[in-house]
Structure 1
Amino acid sequence: MPGGAQLSVTDLRRAARHPVNYRVIGEHRLHGDVMLHVVNISANGFMINGELALSRGERVTIRLPEVGRIEAFVIWNNGDRAGFQFERILRLEDFMRTIDALQPNPKLRASR
């Protein structure tokens, strides 16, 4: 059985993204702690801004409000931005509470 991440990018990019400005420490098994600046998030994953020395398929563990620890896999990395897919889709209730915690300004939240 082949190892590595089984990434399922079957058109999840159409998921609604919510703009955030969230800095979090990701845990990587080889690089240790990596600083991530999350700029948008959906129930399926998130995008960061800034350089990241990780390649497609590598994973990090982050801690989100309401969700707690969750693993995410690098889907793409173009040098100054990177997209991640969560190991599982976030439950709607948890995701909405996470958005409220990450983006407290209701004017910046996407309409629900």
Structure 2
Amino acid sequence: MSREHEWVDEEAGPVVRPYAVARGRTRSASSEVDLLATVVSTGLPAPAKAELSVPHRRLLSSVAGRSKPVAEVASDLGLPIGVVRVLLGDLLEHELVTVRQSRDKAATPSESLLREVINGLRAL
């Protein structure tokens, strides 16, 4: 078996541990990143000192031109939310994204709605 195929599972696709994607980090450098926050690219070029990996670049292209919730970004990229938070923290440090907190209580789902969604998912 070649090394090229060593990290690929036929059914699951590429198999890379989340800590490898986040370079061993488990916490974001920024406390701004939560599940309900929305993220958008600033459109600025990456500074020369920025060491952006492929997941960083995929994340940037995912939020280019439109604002998305952090949870949706994680889903789009197929990465755990913790990894996305770490990557977003890196991008925030380089001012490549902005994070907007969801402060509007009317836009925040109620606990009863969330429970209904959970119960609906369990019924599947």
Q: Same fold (TM over 0.5)?
A: no
Q: Which has the higher strand share?
A: 1
TM-score under structure 2 length normalisation: 0.24
Higher RCO by CA contacts (8 Å cutoff, separation 6 or greater): 2
Larger radius of gyration: 2
